[in-house]
Structure 1
Amino acid sequence: MATPAELLAANLHQVFGNRDVASRRAAIDATYTDDVAFTDPEGTVTGRDALEKKAAALIDGAPADFIFEHDGLAYTGSDTAALAWTFGPSGSPVARGIDLITVRDGRISALRTLLHE
């Protein structure tokens, strides 16, 4: 069973930072519950397929040199965790945010993304 810290890393790198469709989908199936709720400034979507569409739109629409990087320490509890991140060319981010996750049965059941303004 994955730890909250491992789930944060998978969410950031294997899902939202992954440009390979097949491995991204495999990571989604391994990382999130069937009924995962993902909330960002655009609203909330529910389910793995909806989360896949959000991740694909984000990473596939970004320039090839844009990557997600950790921006500090991960904070974890038994069923919640948080991680700050940056997005953009390495060392020159164009976006910053924080992901907050809720964990159920070793998978992410809720993901909330907050953006720095």
Structure 2
Amino acid sequence: MTRSPADLMRVNLLEVFNEPDPDRRAAVIAEHYAEDVVWHEPDRIIHGRAEFVRRAAELLAGNPDWVFRPAGPASGLDDIGHLGFRWGPSDGRPPVVSGMDIARTRQGLIIELYTIITEICQAP
């Protein structure tokens, strides 16, 4: 089944960056991202699926008790998907980071991902 850009944005946030199990996370990445995916973060650019898997694990390990939550609905237009997010403690305290992911897709795969941070609050 080919997923729409909006569907891929939900997968990206909820099934990759909220997935604590590294094997399940890697399987989702293998299914929904191009082998040569490029991920643009504010401070680095990640090239390829293997580096994407490594960086996602690194990011999650830095704050294991935090979760990503959508900030509104996912949207898509042609081959572009967008989803705002909030990231912070899973216990209901306010999020620490707000931002958005924007992705280019092709044939149901994310080929390029841009993560934009819009706000960083004081950690609780």
TM-score interval (norm. to shorter):
over 0.9
Unaligned runs of 5+ in 2: 120-124
**Post-superposition offset of 1:75:** 2.1
Aligned residues: 116
The answer to whether the 8 Å contact 2:7/2:74 transfers is no
Counterpart amino acid of 2:63? Answer: A
Unaligned runs of 5+ in 1: none
Counterpart position of 1:99 = 101
Deviations 1:12-34 (A, max 9, x none): 01111211011000000011000
**Post-superposition offset of 1:112:** 0.3
Q: For residue 24 of structure 1, give the secondary structure of its aligned residue in structure 2.
A: helix
Counterpart position of 2:77 = 77
Alignment TM-score, normalising by the size of structure 1:
0.93
Q: What percentage of aligned pairs have identical amino acids?
A: 34
Q: How far apart in 2 are the matches of 1:19 and 1:63?
A: 8
Q: How far apart in 1 are the matches of 2:32 and 2:93?
A: 28
Q: How far apart in 2 are the matches of 1:73 and 1:8?
A: 10
Find runs of 4+ consecutive structure 1 residues off by over 2 angstroms: none
For the pair shown, the structure with the greater C-alpha radius of gyration is 2
- CA RMSD across the alignment: 1.1
Alignment TM-score, normalising by the size of structure 2:
0.88
Q: For residue 83 of structure 2, give the secondary structure of its aligned residue in structure 1.
A: strand
